[in-house]
């Protein structure tokens, strides 16, 4: 299983802050995962249909969307950060 966590408007659109899914196929990237989740429609499509608005972290490290998920335990999807 793979843990997914969502933040900010991604979390609000999807309507949950975390979930567990079957592991994606070997070689699947974060972008592949986003496309698959967007295909669920509804809030997922609303949050994830434009990947240019999204950023990601794998196991609590920022990664680009073309990063292979590999044996990661947690993938986080969120908008660009606005701290400080």
Residue numbers at the binding site for another protein (CB under 8 A) = 5, 7-9, 57, 60-62, 74, 76, 78-84
Report the nearest approach of another protein to the CB of residue 24 (Å): 21
Query: For residue 22, what are the CA distances in angstroms to 8, 32, 33, 43, 52?
Result: 24, 14, 11, 20, 25
Nearer to another protein, 17 or 42 (CB): 17
Distance in Å, CB of 6 to another protein, minimum = 10
CB of 27 to another protein, least distance (A): 25
Residue nearer to another protein on the CB measure, 9 or 50: 9
| Cβ–Cβ < 8 Å for 7, 78 | yes
Cα torsion 58, 64, 70, 74 to 10°: value is 20
């Amino acid at each position: 299983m793979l843990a997914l966590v969502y933040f900010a408007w991604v979390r609000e659109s999807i309507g949950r802050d975390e979930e567990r899914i079957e592991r994606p196929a070997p070689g699947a990237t974060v972008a592949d995962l986003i496309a698959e989740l967007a295909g669920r429609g509804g809030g997922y499509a609303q949050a994830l249909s434009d990947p240019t608005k999204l950023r990601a972290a794998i196991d609590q490290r920022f990664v680009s969307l073309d990063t292979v998920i590999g044996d990661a335990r947690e993938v986080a999807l969120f908008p660009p950060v606005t701290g400080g």
